[in-house]
Every structure is written in structure tokens, then in C-alpha cells.
């Protein structure tokens, strides 16, 4: 163990401190130098001025003027030579300390007689005057000189010092006053030095300190990776800012506004910022509301920026300026997007594994829909329908980013925001292309053209051949088998329905599928199936009640959907039945009336319900409500020569039946082989 004792930093002793007070710091500032030079010159002239005065006193007092002349001249030699010999102004001043006291000695000597004591005032006056040299050492030299001088003379020629027989204690009293004055004069001289002569030095030190601080600040501003600038109430930017701001958005001049500065880069953002700033300063809205509305994100040239604002208020709480902090979040945004894309790709991959042909078909149709959805290229109603279908399909196949972009594009279209819609469309095509390149790799070669048979179907076919049934019969059966079994479709919808019901808080619903071995032509029915999604969504979103509501109405808590296909009276039927609340005919009637549609008969109401732009929902959600869905399914159904039957009973549920002529469904042309 070593004993570590830390020496307390002791305060210097009194003598040391007195020494530090008397001895000046070595450095002589330019100001001190010129001041002392001037003072030394004045002092020299002052002492030369003593010569005639002393002669006069000597003559008047009859104390040998000639001797006085010689003595004074001899003393004057000292500062004259001293001023030449020493180069330092402080050293020259010391010589004057000595000279002054010698002059005092002469004065007392030539002032013998009744004024001799008064002549001693000279010492006190001049000792005080020496403080003008701003150097305690000068006073000390003078004090020592006068002490020695008095001691020596008093010893040798007592009457030269006192014209009476002064005892030693008188001399000590006399000396005591000199010591007292010396202390005072030293104190004054040192303070004079520190606070007046040394002022320049202090300023210099402060300046260096401030410069250093500024340099530190600059260093921070030059290297910080955030754009920092303060903006005053009038919107103008302070000249101090972090360098990266210039790197991102270019330089600016004093007096530029932040809105103008950003506007040079992106006019729309600058415009918007300017408006937000106006509302910040016009005082109509509360500060926190206006602050909250300032734009928080922006993307310029593919880089993403985040803006945050720190209000700086004066003592009265009035907004003075705002500190704007800009961060480049491009990499974070890219990271988030990459992660989202990764998740999406994963879910797409799962879908492909589960239902390859279904996904392939979705993918091909989506590609067509993306192409057709360009706002400038098609009629706006068509664009709305395409985008809506694409949204539904994309959500069904787990491609949420595309569904989200479709939703945003629909919002813009609904607000007549052409520019916004075009921008969203651009984003949509961009996203789609990214996705398409990945998906195409996963899908590899197409499998849509393959024909899949179940074991039973194969056995049945084999039996027909073995039984030597007529060729036409067998051919008919073969054509039949080349069609797509509806059970794939219906199962897929069932799965979607369960997921959607979960999402819309309709609980775990029962979905029952009855495909009855119906097969339909894949290509021709694709548009119908993709619009069928809307009917399904409507059934869950509008038809089925929440489990609580169901229990309240005396129903089983889980809702039920039946998806079926069957052949009946030369028609192929696809049916969707729910046990929900039934169609709100009053709502349909009111809405039809408000849209100016006929609403007198049940057929009128059905027609209205399936017309473009019809929705009883006040607010569109990303699930349903834009009034596009049912219209889309009607258009698709009619294109296949089909018709829609609707049965609905309040509180019991709704059934939609899509009926297609068998020959259309089975593609009669294919039989003319």
C-alpha cells in the first residue's frame, strides 16, 4: 500500500503575496511602454525644473546657492545618465524614484531654518506622485532611498534633517508616516497598473478567449452533421449556420429568408414553408399549433430530410426566432424501405409457394392495371376503377406497399389533385417495377398454361377412353379440364375473407366453400374474379356485424360467409352469401336521391347500388367506401354476358349471385375442334 497524500494547493504567504504585488509581471504591453516613455520624459523635465527653484530658495534662504547649484546638478546627472544607460522604461522609472528622494534631501538641506520641517512635505507629495509610474517598485526604491538618506544624514549632520534636537522616537514617527504612505502608494500604483495600464492586456486576453470560443463554435458548426440555423421572426436567416446546410442546399446571402432559400431548391416546399411561417408570425393561431404545422419532412433530389423547430422566446414570452434543425434521414428512410420491401418480398414468396398460379395471374393482371392507371391516359372514372381493383388485389396478395400507394392515389383523385395523383402514379409505377423484377425471378417460367387434374378427374377421363365413349364427348371433357377449377379461386377468397375479418375486428368468421367441380375459363374470367374481391370486402366490411353486435341481436358471435359455384338451368352461378345485417335500403335510397339517381323501385335501388361513385360510407377507408367496387364487378360481369341477383333480408344477411350463360363460361368455341 502506498500512501497517497495530496498536497493542498496552499494560498501563498503574506510576504510572497506582497512580493507578487510589488513586482510587476515581466511582459510590457505596447500601451505601458508608450505611457512610461512619456512619463519618464515628463519626470526628467520636472526634475530639471527643480534647479532654478532650488537656486531661488537657496538664495532667499541664504544657504549657499553655489553649493545648491552643484549639488542639484550632480543629482540631475543620475536620471540623465540613467535614461541613456537603461533601455527598459520601467528601469528608467526606478531611477526617478531614487532621484526624487535625492531632490527631497537637497530641498530640506537648503530649506534650513523655520521652513525646514515644511520642506519635508516634499517627500510625501513626490512619493504620492510616483504612483503615476504604475509601478510599486519605483515607490519602494524611493522609500528605501529616503530611509537610508535620513539615517545617514541624521547620524552625520543632525541639523540638516531636524532643526531641533530630535530624539530617536521622533525619527521613528517620522519614518512611520513614510512607511504608511509607501503602502498606500504601492497599492495605488499596482491597481493603476492592473486596471488602467493593464486594460489593454485584459482586452487582448478576452479577445483571444472569444476568438478561441468562436473557433470552437465554428469547428462544431463546420462538422456537425445537422443543418442548424436560426430564423428571425421576419423569416430571415442568421449568418451563422452549420456548414452542411450549404452543402445540401447551397450558399445564401445575408437577409435571405429561409422560405426563399429552400424555395430556390424546391419551389413548392419554399412556398409552403412561407405560408406556415406567416401563420407562425401573424399571431392568429397559437404558437404551438403554427409550429406543429411547419413542414417536418421533405425529399429533394432523392434525399430525405427531416426538419425540427425550436422556438426561442424573449423574456416576455414573445417569439423572437426559431432554431431550425435539418437532418438528412436518407439512409434511415432507405433502411426502412428496404426492410419493408424485404418483409413484403417474404410474404410474396410465401404466397407463391402456396398458390403459384393464383399469384402469377394476380401479377399479370396487376401489371396491366398499373399500365392502365396512368391518369393522363384514360378516362378518370376508368382510372379510379383500375386503381381500386389494383388496391384490392395487391392487399389480397400481401403487396401492401402497392395497396398503400393506390390508396394515396385514390385520395388525390378524390380531391381533384391532378399533380398529386400524377406523383402518386409515378411512385406506384416505380414501386411496381422494383417489385416486378424480384417477382419475375421468383416465378421463373410461367405455369399458368398448365392443366392440373385431380386423381378422380384423371380416373374419370381414363374410364371414358376405356369405355370408348364418342370422341366428341371425350374432347368436351378434355376442354372442360383445361378450364380452371373454381375451388382454387374460392379457397383463395376464403382465406382473404378470414384475414380481412380479423383486421376489421369482425372476429374469427366461418367461411364455407362449395365449388361443386365447376370450372371456368381462366383468361376470360380473370377480370371478374379480380373485381369479385370488392364484393367480398363489402360483405365483410358492411355486411357482417362485430361479434358484440351479433350477440346483442341474438346471432352466433362469429359471422358466416358461404362461397359457392354451381350449374343451374344452363347457367354457371358464383354465389356469395353472408349472414350479416343485410343491405340498408333506406341508406341506399337516401344516397341515390342525393346523387339524383332514380330510387322508386327495388330495381332502381339495385341499379343505383351498382352504379359508379356510389357509396353509403361517409369516409373512405383503405378497405372500402369509394363506391368503385360494386360498379367494377357489374362491368366485369356484364362483359361476360352475365347478370347479378341480389337477395337481402334485414338482420339476416345478403346473397349476391353472379349468373353466366354456360356456353360463355365454358367457351363453346373451343368445342368446334
Distance CA 54, CA 52 (A): 5
Q: Which three cell numbers stand for residue 401?
A: 406497399
Q: How far is the CB of 415 from another protein (least distance, A)?
A: 6
Minimum CB distance to another protein, residue 548 (Å)? 21
Residue 352: CB partners within 8 Å, gap ≥ 6? 359, 439, 442, 443
Cβ nearer to another protein, comparing 274 with 311: 274
Considering the complex, state which of residue 293 and residue 327 has its C-beta at the smaller distance from another protein.
293
Q: Smallest distance, Å, CB 274 to another protein? A: 8
Binding another protein (rule: CB under 8 A), the pick from 234, 292, 339, 426 is 292
Stretch in the footprint of another protein (CB under 8 A) among 30-38, 264-272, 518-526, 651-659: 264-272
State the nearest-atom distance from the C-beta of 290 to another protein, in Å. Answer: 9
415 binds another protein (CB under 8 A): yes
Residue with Cβ nearer another protein (276 or 644)? 276
CA 162 to chain centre: 87
Is the Cβ–Cβ distance between 574 and 580 less than 8 Å?
Answer: no
Extract the C-alpha cell encoding 366: 396487376
Q: With CB under 8 A, what is the number of residues at the site for another protein?
A: 21
E strands in 348-483: none
In angstroms, the CA 417 to CA 410 distance is 10
x/- map, 569-598, another protein, by CB under 8 A: ------------------------------
Q: Tell me how far apart the alpha carbons of residues 160 and 109 are, in angstroms, rounded to a whole number.
A: 5
Which residues have C-beta within 8 Å of that of residue 132, sequence separation ≥ 6?
A: 39, 192
Q: From 259, 269, 264, 272, select the one nearest 324 (Cα to Cα).
A: 259
Asked if 279 touches another protein (CB under 8 A), the answer is yes
Between 200 and 411, CB nearer to another protein: 411
Q: Residue 291 Cβ, how far from another protein at the closest point, in Å?
A: 10
- 616 binds another protein, rule: CB under 8 A: no
Give CA–CA dist 154/666, Å, rounded.
147
For the CB of residue 393, give the shortest distance to another protein in the complex, in Å: 27
Query: Is residue 295 a contact residue for another protein (CB under 8 A)?
Result: yes
Here's the x/- map for another protein, 490-519, by CB under 8 A: it reads as ------------------------------
CB-nearer residue toward another protein: 260 or 661: 260
Q: In terms of Cα–Cα distance, which of 421, 397, 422 is closest to 410?
A: 421
Stretch that binds another protein, among 107-115, 413-421, 459-467, 471-479 (CB under 8 A): 413-421
CA distances from 647 to 142, 353, 572, 577, 606 (A): 125, 37, 18, 9, 10
User: Which residue number, 288 or 315, has a Cβ lying nearer to another protein?
Assistant: 288
Among 73, 238, 289, 465, indicate the residue that binds another protein (CB under 8 A).
289
Q: Contact at 8 Å (CB) between 406 and 387?
A: yes
Length of the chain, in residues: 673
Among 194, 382, 417, 622, binds another protein (CB under 8 A): 417
Q: Which stretch binds another protein (CB under 8 A): 57-65, 123-131, 285-293, 395-403?
A: 285-293
Contact status: 619 vs another protein (CB under 8 A): yes
Among 7, 288, 468, 603, binds another protein (CB under 8 A): 288
Q: What's the min distance (Å) between Cβ of 375 and another protein?
A: 18
Residue whose grid cell is 522609500: 143
Q: In what order do the strands lie in the sheet with 510-514?
A: 510-514, 560-568, 571-578, 653-661, 643-649
Nearest distance from residue 279's CB to another protein, in Å?
7
Closest residue by Cα to residue 320 from 293, 287, 289: 287
| Binding segment (CB under 8 A) for another protein, from list 56-64, 284-292, 379-387, 662-670 | 284-292
According to the 3-state scheme, what is the secondary structure of 315-364? CCCCEEEEEEEEEECHHHHHHHHHHHHHHHHHHHHHHHHHCHHHHHHHHH
Report the alpha-carbon distance of residue 516 to residue 497 in Å, rounded.
20
Least Å distance between CB 295 and another protein? 7
Q: How far is CA 382 from CA 379, 414, 498, in A?
A: 5, 13, 29
Q: What are phi and psi of 39, to 5 degrees?
A: -65, -40
Nearest CB to another protein, comparing residues 110 and 298 = 298
Per CB under 8 A, 275 contacts another protein: yes
Chain centroid to CA 547: 44
Antiparallel, parallel or unpaired: β 303-313 and 297-300: antiparallel
Q: Which residues contact 92 (CB under 8 A, 6 or more apart)?
A: 36, 40, 79, 82, 83, 86
> What is residue 299's DSSP assignment?
E
Which CB sits closer to another protein, 205 or 415? 415
User: 3-class DSSP state for residue 64?
Assistant: coil
| Residues 376/423, Cβ–Cβ less than 8 Å | no
Q: Which stretch binds another protein (CB under 8 A): 268-276, 434-442, 550-558, 571-579?
A: 268-276
Q: Which three cell numbers mark 384?
A: 379510379
Q: Which of 47, 54, 122, 272 forms a contact with another protein (CB under 8 A)? A: 272
Please tell me the distance from the alpha carbon of residue 670 to that of residue 673, in angstroms, as a whole number: 7
Contact 476, 464 (CB under 8 A): no
Footprint (CB under 8 A) of another protein, residues 348-407: none
Binding part of the chain for another protein, among 134-142, 206-214, 279-287, 538-546 by CB under 8 A, reads 279-287
Nearer to another protein, 423 or 604 (CB): 423
Of the candidates 7, 253, 282, 600, which one interacts with another protein according to CB under 8 A?
Answer: 282
Region binding another protein by CB under 8 A among candidate stretches 24-32, 272-280, 351-359, 484-492: 272-280
Nearer to another protein, 31 or 309 (CB): 309
Question: In the bound complex, what is the minimum distance in angstroms from residue 294's beta carbon to another protein?
Answer: 10
Tell me whether residue 53 or residue 289 sits nearer to another protein (CB atom).
289
Site string for another protein, 308-347 (x = CB under 8 A): ----------------------------------------
Residues that bind another protein (CB under 8 A): 268, 271-272, 274-275, 279, 282, 284-286, 288-289, 292-293, 295, 415-417, 420, 618-619
Amino acid at each position: 500500500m502506498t500512501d497517497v497524500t495530496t498536497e493542498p494547493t496552499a494560498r501563498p504567504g503574506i510576504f510572497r503575496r506582497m512580493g507578487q504585488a510589488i513586482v510587476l509581471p515581466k511582459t510590457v504591453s505596447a500601451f505601458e511602454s508608450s505611457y512610461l516613455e512619456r512619463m519618464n520624459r515628463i519626470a526628467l523635465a520636472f526634475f530639471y525644473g527643480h534647479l532654478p527653484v532650488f537656486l531661488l530658495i537657496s538664495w532667499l534662504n541664504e544657504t549657499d546657492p553655489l553649493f545648491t547649484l552643484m549639488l542639484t546638478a550632480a543629482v540631475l546627472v543620475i536620471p540623465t545618465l540613467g535614461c541613456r544607460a537603461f533601455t527598459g522604461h520601467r528601469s528608467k522609472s526606478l531611477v526617478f524614484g531614487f532621484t526624487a528622494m535625492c531632490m527631497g534631501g537637497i530641498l530640506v538641506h537648503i530649506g534650513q531654518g523655520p521652513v525646514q520641517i515644511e520642506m519635508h512635505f516634499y517627500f510625501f507629495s513626490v512619493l504620492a506622485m510616483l504612483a503615476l509610474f504604475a509601478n510599486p517598485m519605483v515607490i519602494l526604491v524611493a522609500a528605501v532611498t529616503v530611509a537610508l538618506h535620513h539615517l545617514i544624514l541624521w547620524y552625520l549632520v543632525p541639523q540638516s534633517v531636524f532643526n531641533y534636537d530630535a530624539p530617536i522616537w521622533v525619527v521613528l514617527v517620522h519614518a512611520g508616516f513614510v512607511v504608511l504612505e509607501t503602502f498606500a502608494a504601492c497599492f495605488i500604483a499596482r491597481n493603476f497598473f492592473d486596471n488602467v495600464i493593464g486594460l489593454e492586456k485584459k482586452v487582448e486576453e478576452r479577445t483571444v478567449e472569444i476568438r478561441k470560443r468562436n473557433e470552437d463554435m465554428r469547428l462544431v458548426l463546420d462538422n456537425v452533421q445537422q443543418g442548424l440555423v436560426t430564423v428571425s421572426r421576419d423569416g430571415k436567416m442568421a449568418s451563422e449556420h452549420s456548414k452542411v446546410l450549404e452543402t445540401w442546399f447551397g450558399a445564401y446571402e445575408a437577409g435571405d429568408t429561409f422560405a426563399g432559400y429552400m424555395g430556390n431548391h424546391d419551389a413548392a416546399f419554399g412556398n409552403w414553408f412561407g405560408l406556415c411561417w406567416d401563420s407562425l408570425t401573424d399571431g392568429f393561431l397559437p404558437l404551438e399549433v403554427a409550429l406543429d404545422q411547419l413542414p417536418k419532412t421533405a425529399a429533394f433530389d432523392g434525399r430525405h430530410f427531416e426538419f425540427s423547430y425550436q422556438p426561442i422566446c424573449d423574456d416576455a414570452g414573445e417569439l423572437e426566432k426559431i432554431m431550425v434543425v435539418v437532418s438528412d434521414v436518407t439512409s434511415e428512410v432507405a433502411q426502412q424501405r428496404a426492410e419493408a420491401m424485404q418483409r413484403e418480398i417474404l410474404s410474396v414468396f410465401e404466397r407463391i409457394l402456396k398458390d403459384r398460379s393464383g399469384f402469377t395471374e394476380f401479377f399479370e393482371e396487376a401489371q396491366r392495371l398499373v399500365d392502365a392507371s396512368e391518369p393522363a391516359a384514360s378516362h378518370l372514372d376508368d382510372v379510379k376503377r383500375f386503381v381500386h381493383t389494383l388496391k384490392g388485389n395487391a392487399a389480397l396478395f400481401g403487396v401492401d406497399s402497392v395497396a398503400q400507394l393506390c390508396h394515396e392515389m385514390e385520395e388525390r383523385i378524390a380531391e381533384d389533385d391532378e399533380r398529386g395523383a400524377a406523383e402518386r402514379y409515378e411512385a406506384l409505377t416505380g414501386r411496381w417495377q422494383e417489385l416486378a423484377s424480384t417477382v419475375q425471378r421468383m416465378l421463373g417460367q410461367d405455369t399458368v398454361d398448365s392443366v392440373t387434374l385431380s386423381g378422380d378427374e384423371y380416373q374419370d377421363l381414363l374410364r371414358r377412353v376405356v369405355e370408348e365413349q364418342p370422341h366428341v364427348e371425350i374432347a368436351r371433357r378434355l376442354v372442360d379440364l383445361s378450364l380452371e377449377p373454381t375451388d382454387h379461386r374460392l379457397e383463395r377468397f376464403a382465406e382473404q375473407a378470414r384475414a380481412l375479418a380479423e383486421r376489421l375486428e369482425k372476429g374469427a368468421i366461418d367461411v364455407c366453400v362449395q365449388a361443386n367441380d365447376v370450372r371456368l375459363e381462366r383468361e376470360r374470367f380473370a377480370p371478374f374474379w379480380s373485381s369479385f374481391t370488392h364484393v367480398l370486402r363489402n360483405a365483410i366490411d358492411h355486411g357482417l356485424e362485430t361479434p358484440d353486435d351479433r350477440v346483442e341481436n341474438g346471432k352466433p358471435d362469429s359471422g358466416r360467409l358461404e362461397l359457392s359455384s354451381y350449374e343451374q338451368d344452363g347457367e354457371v352461378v358464383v354465389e356469395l352469401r353472408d349472414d350479416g345485417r343485410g343491405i340498408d335500403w333506406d341508406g341506399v335510397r337516401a344516397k341515390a336521391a342525393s346523387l339524383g339517381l332514380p330510387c322508386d323501385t327495388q330495381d332502381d335501388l339495385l341499379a343505383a347500388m351498382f352504379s359508379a361513385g356510389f357509396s353509403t360510407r361517409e369516409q373512405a377507408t383503405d378497405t372500402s367506401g369509394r363506391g368503385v367496387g360494386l360498379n367494377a364487378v357489374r362491368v366485369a360481369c356484364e362483359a361476360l354476358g352475365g347478370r347479378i341477383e341480389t337477395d337481402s333480408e334485414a338482420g339476416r344477411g345478403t346473397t349476391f349471385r353472379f349468373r353466366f350463360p354456360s356456353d360463355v363460361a365454358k367457351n363453346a368455341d373451343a368445342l368446334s375442334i
